[in-house]
Amino acid sequence: MEIGNLKKTIASNLRLNRAKNKISQEKLSELTGISQQFICNIETEKVNPSVETLLKIANALNVTLNDLVY
């Protein structure tokens, strides 16, 4: 998978899972310790989050890492 496609998939899956859990970017920021701006940047494909960051997000959303990446 190309990095551009991976960023798009992660962005889409993050938005989808946040919506399913009715969690705002601000609330996700509080739950993970990741800034709201960085979460926004992930969702708009501006950054490449680390595996550690994705794991924090997955745990806060009660999903697996695979749910965010695939």
- The domain spanning residue 15 has which CATH number? 1.10.260.40
pLDDT surpasses 80 at 1: no
Q: pLDDT of 15-53, one tens digit each? A: 999 999 999 999 999 999 999 999 999 999 999 999 999
Instruction: Kindly report the pTM of this predicted structure.
Output: 0.93
Closest CA to 11 of 34, 36, 40: 40
pLDDT digits (tens, 9 = 90+) for 7-17: 999 999 999 99
Decide: 47 and 38 in contact? Cβ < 8 Å. Answer: yes
Q: What is the pLDDT of residue 15?
A: 98
Q: For residue 3, what pLDDT is reported? A: 78
Q: Provide the domain count of the chain.
A: 1
The residue among 65, 66, 57 whose CA lies nearest residue 18 is: 57
Q: Which domain holds residue 29?
A: 3-69
